[in-house]
Amino acid sequence: MEMGFRWYGPDEDAVKLRDIRQIPGAKQVVGALFDVPVGEVWPLAKIKALKAQIEAAGLKFTIVESVNIHDDIKIGLPTRDHYIENYQQTIRNLAQVGVKTICYNFMPIFDWIRTDLHFELADGSKALAFQERYTAEDPQALIQQIQSGDNGFSLPGWEPERLAKVQQLFKAYADVDATRLAANLKYFLDAILPVCEECHIQMALHPDDPPMPLFGLPRIFKNAADMRAIVAMNASLANGFTICTGSLGENPDNDIPAIIREFVVQGRVPFVHARNIKFTGNGRDFREAAHLSSEGSLDMFAIMKALHDTGFDGVIRPDHGRDIWGEAGRPGYGLYDRALGLTYLNGLWEAIAKS
């Protein structure tokens, strides 16, 4: 197991590589090319430059989060084949520099959805939060609210150029129900997994966040049953998952240690996002919490124990942190609380390993 830390690159992240290097136990930088438009090939020279920077800081680069999927692929338009060819070339280019894992998601239009980026906790720290009632309104209202509170950073999956087209996108997805979305995922997987196998890359599909249909858009990775269905679409071992404890944990029916125990032993989990959330008492509404088990609704010890027991040998990264100590970072991706999270998770791991 190695601990990683997500980084948005020299121009887009207030966190510096040397900050990451100073977190005890941080070995991997989970990076991406954020300036390549979704659907375009990631140029080899740019990938090499990113890797060189990370390695010069004494860190490793073997996981990419994310290579996003063009909406034409998710909608199933005839133009998808062109974007799939581009994706195949990106896979080849990433493999050339030694990347082993590609994290991606198959969520229509939005990536993760939160309704508040600065939910104030009793101790004065601020966390991301989700209240279902705000998703009953026009998505445009939520988009404006989110964009006005993003501390000047664009959120992953909420890039302005993408959101500008949101109404068009809703129309384009009108006929895409969960069955069609699943068929489009299968089409994509059947086309790219042979390339992954040739290149020794494993895909790591991220769960839908939150794991339920919102704004009438379908969801296909909400729980263990969905994961079984996705494995059944294409048995290749390159067809893997990112286990995001927060996303799956946002449905209290999901037993995350059980999910880990089922899929890690199959060799399908190269990457884990470890995050805690706290249900706020109204249905599935939640806010994010510090990683420590007692701060939230998830048992992080049980999660780390399941990973340890199943011989997990991929990368774990702390997931979203709160804004603490006066930091006004990229929402969810400041330095301090994620660093605390990484250290805590490493402490759990050491204790489990030595007991």
Q: Hey, which residues are catalytic here?
A: 206, 244, 273, 319-320, 333
Q: Is 127 in the site for ligand DNO (CB under 6 A)?
A: no
Q: Which helix (H) or strand (E) holds 318?
A: strand 315-318
Considering the complex, state which of residue 135 and residue 154 has its C-beta at the smaller distance from ligand DNO. 154
Considering the complex, state which of residue 265 and residue 328 has its C-beta at the smaller distance from ligand DNO. 328
DSSP 45-77: HHHHHHHHHHHHTT-B--EEE--PPPHHHHHT-
Q: Which of 39, 157, 211, 314 binds ligand DNO (CB under 6 A)?
A: 157
Q: Which of 103, 203, 214, 289 binds ligand DNO (CB under 6 A)?
A: 103
Q: Are 106 and 69 in contact (CB under 8 A)?
A: yes
Residue nearest ligand DNO, CB atom distance = 66
Q: Are 324 and 125 in contact (CB under 8 A)?
A: yes
Q: Which residues, 6 or more positions from 355, have their beta carbon under 8 angstroms from its beta carbon?
A: none
Residues 295 and 81: their CA atoms lie apart, in Å, by 46
Q: Cα-Cα-Cα-Cα dihedral of 289, 291, 293, 294, to 10°?
A: -50
Q: Is 332 in the site for ligand DNO (CB under 6 A)?
A: yes
* DSSP H helix total and E strand total for the chain: 13, 12
Q: Is 28 in the site for ligand DNO (CB under 6 A)?
A: no
Q: Which of 28, 62, 101, 105 binds ligand DNO (CB under 6 A)?
A: 105
Q: Which of 4, 39, 108, 156 binds ligand DNO (CB under 6 A)?
A: 156
Q: Which residues, 6 or more positions from 26, have their beta carbon under 8 angstroms from its beta carbon?
A: 3, 4, 5, 20, 59, 339, 342
Is 103 strand, coil or helix?
strand
Residues 169 and 148: their CA atoms lie apart, in Å, by 22
Q: Is 112 in the site for ligand DNO (CB under 6 A)?
A: yes
Q: Which helix (H) or strand (E) holds 87?
A: helix 80-96
Residues 11 and 151: their CA atoms lie apart, in Å, by 15
Residues 208 and 220: their CA atoms lie apart, in Å, by 7
Q: Which stretch binds ligand DNO (CB under 6 A): 80-88, 99-107, 285-293, 309-317?
A: 99-107
Q: Which stretch binds ligand DNO (CB under 6 A): 19-27, 82-90, 105-113, 117-125?
A: 105-113
Residues 97 and 282: their CA atoms lie apart, in Å, by 47
Per-residue string for binding with ligand DNO, 250-289, x by CB under 6 A?
Answer: -----------------------x----------------
Q: How far is the CB of 103 from ligand DNO (least distance, A)?
A: 5
Tell me how long the chain is: 355
Q: Is 221 in the site for ligand DNO (CB under 6 A)?
A: no
Q: How far is the CB of 219 from ligand DNO (least distance, A)?
A: 12
Query: Amino acid letter at 260?
Result: I
Instruction: Using CB under 6 A, count the residues that bind ligand DNO.
Output: 13
Q: How far is the CB of 299 from ligand DNO (least distance, A)?
A: 20
Q: How far is the CB of 27 from ligand DNO (least distance, A)?
A: 19
Q: Is 163 in the site for ligand DNO (CB under 6 A)?
A: no
Per-residue string for binding with ligand DNO, 176-205, x by CB under 6 A?
Answer: ------------------------------
Among all chains, which residue has been given the structure tokens 């959120």? 155
Partners of residue 65 on adjacent β-strands: 103
Q: Is 4 in the site for ligand DNO (CB under 6 A)?
A: no
Residues that bind ligand DNO (CB under 6 A): 65-66, 103-105, 111-112, 156-157, 206, 273, 320, 332
